[in-house]
Amino acid sequence: MSTPAVRTDRPPTVKLLINGQFVESASREWHDVVNPATQEVLAQVPFATPEEVAAAIASAKAAYASWRNTPIAARARIMLKLQALVREHMSRIARTLSAEQGKTLADAEGDVFRGLEVIEHACSVGSLQLGEFAENVAGGVDTYSLRQPIGVCVGISPFNFPAMIPLWMFPMAIVCGNTFVLKPSEQDPLTPMLLAELALQAGVPPGVLNIVHGGKAAVEALCTHPDVAAISFVGSTHVGTHVYDLGSRHGKRVQCMMGAKNHAVVLPDASKDQTLNALAGAAFGAAGQRCMAISVAVLVGEARKWIPDLVAKAKTLKVAVGTEKGADLGPLISKQARQRVVGLIEDGVREGAKLELDGRDVKVPGYEQGNFVGPTIFSGVKPDMKIYSQEIFGPVLCVMGAETLDEAIAIVNANPFGNGTGIFTQSGAAARKFQNEIDVGQVGINVPIPVPVPFFSFTGSRGSKLGDLGPYGKQVVQFYTQTKTVTARWFEDGVSSGGVNTTISLK
Ligand code: NAD
């Protein structure tokens, strides 16, 4: 998090979105939004006051009364317009995203594209939100269920996907008839603001989507407000656990998608070149700041001899400013993030892991102030080392060895996180055993980053997820709606009901 700043020559300020208006915050606390490659201050973001947070919720509550009854096709049509606008402005959004977050332009476009797919999914709300109907559950009696919106929903998003994750949240929430307050990461709020502009342009009515900025205080105010029905959080495990606990204690529906330590299990029969490419891309792409990045490779049997090839592959990656052609990975989000990653690499060395490739001293000409760390590989990693037990969230790959697939599965299942994993093999039987026995949400088979497309739901196990229902897919429609079951009987004029019935059965 950047430090509060008092300035006279102010850079542009990030606005709040309340009741359809982009408004200047009255806050006295402002943080710099910094380009992580150049340290240029791109904007200043306010930490909204308690009154502003309350105003955003009040605006969402007021808008809910009419939005919940807006015809389903009208809501879907706004999403159709929004997907067209996001597509049209893709490269502008990606450039802003790359400047404030640091990822390469190609990766920034991927970030927007994966969010765009969720908007496309939201366009099919007509079939997603259908209820059920059973005729004649008793004589002349029908039962049907409705999926109704739940009210004001809140989204709290992390810095690493400033387009995709806000788009996991508000399109599905509002298309189901809810209204929304988004609290994006204070580290890169410019991208979500662009998306909000497009949402208004697409026809999202005033109050249906609101945005406040801030940190702990804003999040806690949202999680405890009596008019908030549901909270969708994506971020680290320690913050997510707090949000889940606080929100649940205040009677909210909460889903928290949290931290990760994703293992790739590599069997010796795997296609070697494809696997090494996949490992290098998934471990170091986006500077390892993906919740689905591969951060541990478990090499099984003869595959343990592949470490020098893996190191050679990692050395081919180009560390550069995100806008440079051919860049494979950009800087880390902040100086603090860099310090933390470098500190963990030092811990790894101290604890006895073998540093096969050291990215700490990487130099990017012209960007000496950038928060760069190059691809880093440790071998001989043991479960009790900090580099293994903690999520590093940087371009650091820990390599472990195992004799057998059973041993590798046991390693993965004993890790505190269960977000994503992958197996690399040519054996269908081994892959099937892995898929069956592994306790991790997303499983890839020769696929390094198995983020599900939006008609499936993102999920997670153990320390990576709290709450039953995941973002997008069919599950999120359940999350953002409540079921009402109606049992109905209609009497024809002049037909007797057959007298008083004192039992609970329907005939
Ligand atoms: P973070 O937990 O620091 O921040 C997430 C959100 O919580 C931000 O909006 C932030 O302002 C807010 N926040 C920060 N500190 C808080 C506090 N003390 N109390 C209340 N709110 C607080 O996460 P981050 O660093 O922005 O993002 C990286 C993390 O997100 C990693 O752990 C990554 O694995 C995780 N992540 C998980 C998924 C997933 O789907 N499982 C996806 C993306 C990122």
Cα gap 64→212, rounded to integer Å: 18
Q: Given pLDDT bands bounded at 50, 70 and 90, which one contains residue 8?
A: low
Residue nearest to atom 12 of ligand 1 (CA): 215
Pocket test for ligand 1, best of 236, 256, 333 (most atoms within 8 A of CB): 236
Quick check: CB of 236 below 6 Å from ligand 1? yes
158 CA closest ligand 1 atom index: 26
Cα gap 266→421, rounded to integer Å: 11
pLDDT in tens, 179-189: 999 999 999 99
Q: Per the structure block, which two tokens stand in for 61?
A: 């509550």
Tell how far the Cα of 239 is from the centroid of ligand 1, in angstroms.
6
Quick check: CB of 216 below 6 Å from ligand 1? yes
Quick check: CB of 257 below 6 Å from ligand 1? yes
Tell how far the Cα of 159 is from the centroid of ligand 1, in angstroms.
7
| DSSP code string of 180-211 | EEEE--TTS-HHHHHHHHHHHHHTPPTTTEEE
Look at residue 137 and tell me whether its pLDDT is greater than 60.
yes
Tell how far the Cα of 257 is from the centroid of ligand 1, in angstroms.
9
Looking at beta carbons, which pairs linking 85-90 to residues 24 or more positions away fall under 8 Å? 85/198, 85/201, 85/202, 86/112, 86/115, 86/116, 86/119, 86/195, 86/198, 87/116, 89/194, 89/198, 90/116
pLDDT in tens, 339-350: 999 999 999 999
Catalytic residues: 291
Quick check: CB of 114 below 6 Å from ligand 1? no
| DSSP code string of 245-311 | HHHHHTT-EEEEE----EEEEE-TTS-HHHHHHHHHHHHHGGGG-STT-EEEEEEEGGGGGGHHHHH
Residue 1: its pLDDT value, please? Answer: 45
Q: How many residues does the chain have?
A: 507
Residue 499: its pLDDT value, please? Answer: 78
Q: Please list the residues that pair with 183 across neighbouring strands.
A: 156
- The chain-wide mean pLDDT, for the chain, equals 96
Cα gap 241→218, rounded to integer Å: 16
Pocket test for ligand 1, best of 258, 459, 462 (most atoms within 8 A of CB): 258
Look at residue 3 and tell me whether its pLDDT is greater than 60.
no
Q: Given pLDDT bands bounded at 50, 70 and 90, which one contains residue 500?
A: confident
Residue 507: its pLDDT value, please? Answer: 67
Between the alpha carbon of residue 291 and those of residues 37, 272, 288, 349, 413, the distances in Å are 21, 25, 8, 24, 18
Cα gap 497→491, rounded to integer Å: 8
End-to-end CA distance of the chain: 64
